[in-house]
Chains A and B, each alone.
Chain A
């Protein structure tokens, strides 16, 4: 088969695949704008009379802004603490010190412990700390991720020793070097950190499900799941809510595709 023919075939197959992948999303967007196909059959394929009233309803029926802010605050805490803690740890791992092997072993073995196996003790812990139903309680288990520590470590290790020595001669303390020299050079590592932790924290469902007790403290995914049970079954508002929940992350993704994709690559094991 000639190169040209394979290219055409590849294009066709890929277009079909992308079509199949995008159809569910298109379907939801269409329904959130028109409310058709909820109860009628056969469904219509092109939107008729689009309107944004479902979105308005969602905004007023539930404390949407509050849920949104909860998600934002928790994600912000998670992302910031991740960058700080992981950079510090990744930097420290660049030195030789007593107990280094043990500590690395600890980190690696923590990678083997998926979050879902820790839910019961984590819940009890959060309860005893008095952090149930709080933003901090929601954020704390996610405040550091091992994979990101190693992302920082590999990035920092690539910085030439000469820079370190030069700064040393200038009298700069080592910890200051992290701030002044290593971090500014670690842009991709920071981006990876932000992306991985933001996605994990924004989409997190099981932890808020376990931890929150008041409606007012819910995060967006939890609010979405509960919407389903409050307002019974499908409705245009439900799908408008779906769009409102996934829009931020889709937008963030589309704006940063390259970093996103390469970042999620490094996070191969969801920590």
Chain B
């Protein structure tokens, strides 16, 4: 049998497996491309008051959630629209909280990423509540 004939016989007998492997490889490639395109390590979000108004100048803290080491938290301030942005975040599990003296503090929210340096936007705003 020629090489071509043998190849096509192999293909017909193992079609299911070849498709499966191809699908897995394709999924892996898509995932890797997705990761490469979105790994700038940027974490963004917005801080609002309980009424829903953006808070300017609030301090937002981001700290890694790890088993042992307590690392130094990172901190940025929000702009006029209450938005904040962290860059170069190399954590996959972290805690975010915001506060502004005189206005209040937000609850500490925990987030977990799918890959290192994933560009992440907080799904909910950090709401400052009056400290009681």
Contact = CB atoms under 8 A, between A and B. Distances in A.
Q: What class of interface size applies to chain B in its complex with A?
A: 10 to 19
A163 interface: no
Interface hub of A52, A56, A57 (most chain B Cβ within 10 A): A56
A257 B119 CA distance: 42
Given A255-B17, A255-B20, A60 B114 contact: no
Interface string B1-31: 0000000000000001100100000000000
A121 B53 CA distance: 74
Interface string A54-78: 0011001000000000000000000
Contact of B115 (A56, A231, A255, A256): A56
Interface string A230-246: 01000000000000000
A255 B112 CA distance: 34
Interface of B: 16-17, 20, 67, 92-93, 112-116
A200 interface: no
Interface residues of A, number: 9
Interface of A: 51-53, 56-57, 60, 231, 255-256
Contact of A60 (B17, B67, B92): B92
Contact of A56 (B16, B17, B20, B92): B92
A41 to B, nearest CB: 24
Nearest to B6: A184
Nearest to A60: B92
